[in-house]
Amino acid sequence: MIHPKFVDLVIHLDDKDVALLKQYVQSRMAGQSSLMKTFMYVINKKSDVSLINSASVINKAIFTHVKDKVVSNHLSTLFQLAEEWMIQEQLKSEKFTAENLLLKWQKKKGLLYLSEQTARTLEKNLIAQKEYDLEKMQVYLNLLNYHLIQNDNKIKDHPQDSIKQLLKGYHESVKAQYLIFKTELENLMSIHHGDFSSDVDMIEQISALIPETELTQIIAQLHRLVIHDEMGALYHLKDVLIAHHIDDKSQLHYIITSYCYQRVMRLWSKGKHNDLALANELFNYAISYNIFTKNGKIPSAAFHTFVTQSAFYSKDYEQTEHFIQTWINKVDTTKKEATIALARAQNCLYTERYEEIFQYTWRSDFDTFNQKNLAQGIHLIATFMFREKEKEVFENTLNLSLLFLKRNKLKMSNHIYESYKNLCGFMNLVHKNKQVALDTFKPIIYRSWCEKVLKDRL
């Protein structure tokens, strides 16, 4: 359903944000009674605001002699005010960006004394923060550039060391950004079959000309983890995060933390480690820094990862059920009951309550393809566990799963596709009582379950 932009925004705001936005709108629109009436109607309907799909719905609810166009204009004005508020809120969280903008404004207006004071304060604050942050680094370089080149001075009047410091900083920044691009491009090629090889070659040629620094070495470790699955790189990056070498409010921190958690689970599925303590440590770390939330909501894919983590480590059905009930209202989903059902199916899988799985996996009304894929995989495992009693049911489900994978291959990464395909191959061999070497199935999803199946055969 398509909503007015302001209504769509309110859908994604939590109660704290709504209160702050209300304060801002009231401060800007005092005396604008009809506009404030529109605003209050939308936020007071927040629990079912998704039903407000047009200006006419609001008009019929709160006005009697107003045209729909007037209400539509109110919604446009409110969205513009909301955009201004969002910018201000973002600037509050990016202190250095705000100070840098202030410096530019002061210089533009010829307030040289004030601009010098702002520059000194900004430089002092930037130097005081030792953690790595690429955005902060760029602000600092802009500040040096202002001092050395743009500050109505001649560059020859500055010491050579200062000029070299500026150039060294720019080189480090360029190499760091290039290494991140290289990692992302190579990862995209492995997932979506795109071809960025010429771009990667160019990045490598340019990067080779720039000396290594501690920061670029950290990002090089990220490349080794993401592209080459190196466990040593994972341990190194975990130590970097725990030691707070990266600013935890930076984009770099988000990128490294996200990849570390994703890869610790992927490397487990590939059989490259069995360090459950490491996986749990990275999970708790990511949770503590809200790595998985978007707009105050948890994406459904992240929620199901949480459920897996809880059930896998605790093996306690009631504990994971409590976890599901605690977090479900924070999940970004329009299919709450289906999402709960899938989470309970996961819980049943990891606590070996296989017979109960069927009551949760029969449905198809999920929000995302990821959920549908997850459900069909768990359902397949449940039929496998009862294959001796229901042989045909399992064999039909296995064939349907393989057909599902074939039809939807382009919707998955290579890793996910191969993981599920190998799970089907593993089940087929076990079902036929053939010799199975789990190491030949890499990657494979539900590796720990597969290990238990083989152990129970002995």
Q: Residue-wise pLDDT tens for the chain (458 aa)? A: 457 888 888 887 878 888 999 999 888 887 668 888 888 888 887 767 666 767 787 888 888 777 888 888 988 999 999 999 998 888 887 767 788 888 888 878 888 778 878 878 877 877 777 888 888 888 788 777 776 665 555 445 556 777 788 788 889 999 999 999 999 999 888 877 678 999 999 999 999 999 999 999 999 999 999 999 999 999 999 999 999 999 988 899 999 999 998 898 888 767 788 787 888 788 888 888 888 776 667 888 888 988 988 888 778 899 899 989 988 988 888 899 999 999 999 999 999 999 999 999 988 889 899 999 999 999 999 999 999 999 999 999 999 999 999 999 988 888 899 999 999 999 999 999 999 999 899 889 999 899 999 998 86
Write out the two tokens for 382: 């449940």
77 backbone dihedrals φ, ψ, rounded to 5°: -65, -45
Write down the residue that tokens 């489900």 correspond to: 397
User: 293 with 268: CB under 8 angstroms?
Assistant: no
246 secondary structure, DSSP code: B
Q: How far apart are CA 316 and CA 311, in angstroms?
A: 6
pLDDT of residue 162: 72
pLDDT of residue 391: 94
Contacts of 327 (CB under 8 A, 6+ apart): 298, 303, 306
Helix (H) or strand (E) holding 298: strand 298-299
298 backbone dihedrals φ, ψ, rounded to 5°: -95, 120
Cis peptide before 443 (omega within 30 of 0): yes
Q: Which of 118, 124, 17, 5 is nearest to 55 (CA)?
A: 5
For residue 437, the SS3 value is coil
Write down the residue that tokens 């290594």 correspond to: 212
pLDDT of residue 158: 56
pLDDT of residue 1: 46
Burial state string for 72-102 with b = 16 or more CB within 10 A and e = fewer than 16: bebbebbbebbeebeeeeeeeeeebeebbee
Q: Percentages helix, strand, coil for the chain, rounded to the nearest 5?
A: 75, 0, 20
Q: How far apart are CA 311 and CA 314, in angstroms?
A: 5
Q: How far apart are CA 287 and CA 306, in angstroms?
A: 9
- Which amino acid type is present at position 453? V
CA–centroid distance for 196 within its chain: 23
Q: How far apart are CA 423 and CA 443, in angstroms?
A: 9
User: 297 with 18: CB under 8 angstroms?
Assistant: no
Q: How many helices (H) and strands (E) does the chain have?
A: 22, 2
pLDDT of residue 218: 96
Q: How far apart are CA 400 and CA 397, in angstroms?
A: 5
User: 122 with 103: CB under 8 angstroms?
Assistant: yes
* Length in residues, the chain: 458
Q: How far apart are CA 421 and CA 425, in angstroms?
A: 6
pLDDT of residue 57: 79
